[in-house]
Amino acid sequence: MKILITGATGKIGRQSLLQFLQHPSITSVVSLSRRHIPSESLPNSEKFKNVIVKDFSNWSQEIMEIIKDADAMFWAMGTNDASSGPNFDWPVAFQAAMLKAREAQSRTTRFRFIFCSGKFVVQNQDAWLFFLPGARKLKGRTEVVCLEFAIEHKDVWQTFVVKPGGFITPDMFGRRLLPMLMGDLVIDCDEFSAYIAELIATGKEEEGLIYNKRMVGKGRELLQTKTDRT
């Protein structure tokens, strides 16, 4: 299967990309980014293609030609401020462009869209929030719009909104202690990326919002199964 990713130069996107390239069901990964990603250090780099996108609000014919036959997208681009482009406008524009491109094809499978939101994102636009109110509510609007889009186009589209807690990167000090100290507030990069690779490859999960606890538990199971096999 062919999958797409945005945000692959970031913390969450990078770890996910590494797992996607190692997943046996994924044969092609196209990263859409504003910066070049060197492929030399990537595993199975022959599966990887990097497309530089100058304007994510405009999904040009040229780019759609490269990605229109993809099966799924992981939208890991985003910021912790209230920038509308990467957090709202561009994923919404992508959905419309991809839907249009697929209408011209006779695909029998549904497109799988995974949006990386966050544990502290809030859909209620009237909620009083102590920290990062603008950013948390903006992504809450994106969650709503993406979920509504999937309902409206349910025969051809499915959406999963993942809500990770603080992402523990491989180089983080006290990496192994943090989950014990912070519990469900955080998720380890290995657990998250194992979970997200399986989700994008199989879609075997209840559609809609997916919370941190679920991803930690399922991610651990997947890693354990992998260890048992080796």
Ligand X SMILES: NC(=O)c1ccc[n+]([C@@H]2O[C@H](COP(=O)([O-])OP(=O)(O)OC[C@H]3O[C@@H](n4cnc5c(N)ncnc54)[C@H](OP(=O)(O)O)[C@@H]3O)[C@@H](O)[C@H]2O)c1
Binding site for ligand X (CB under 6 A): 7, 9-13, 34-35, 76-80, 85-86, 116, 118, 164, 166-167
Q: How far is the CB of 73 from ligand X (least distance, A)?
A: 14
Closest CA to 34 of 71, 79, 1, 92: 79
Residue (110 or 210) nearer to ligand X, CB = 210
Confirm if 179 and 188 have CB atoms less than 8 A apart.
yes
Confirm if 200 and 8 have CB atoms less than 8 A apart.
no
Q: How far is the CB of 86 from ligand X (least distance, A)?
A: 4
Give the CA distances from residue 59 to residues 48, 94, 129, in Å, rounded to whole numbers and listed in that order. 20, 7, 34
Residue (156 or 209) nearer to ligand X, CB = 209
Tabulate helix, strand, coil % of the chain (nearest 5): 45, 20, 35
Q: How far is the CB of 114 from ligand X (least distance, A)?
A: 11
Q: How far is the CB of 167 from ligand X (least distance, A)?
A: 4
Residue (110 or 163) nearer to ligand X, CB = 163
Residue (71 or 78) nearer to ligand X, CB = 78
DSSP letter string, 50-82: EEE-S-TT---HHHHHHHTT-SEEEE----SS-
Residue (86 or 203) nearer to ligand X, CB = 86
If 0-12 CB within 10 Å is exposed, 13-18 middle and 19+ buried, where does residue 50 land?
middle
Residue (14 or 110) nearer to ligand X, CB = 14
Residue (118 or 219) nearer to ligand X, CB = 118
Q: How far is the CB of 44 from ligand X (least distance, A)?
A: 20
Interior/surface letters 199-221, b for 16+ CB within 10 angstroms, e for the rest: bbbebebebebbebeebbebbbe
Q: How far is the CB of 230 from ligand X (least distance, A)?
A: 28
Q: How far is the CB of 104 from ligand X (least distance, A)?
A: 27
The arrangement of strands across the sheet holding 157-163 comes to 48-52, 28-33, 2-6, 72-75, 111-116, 157-163, 208-211
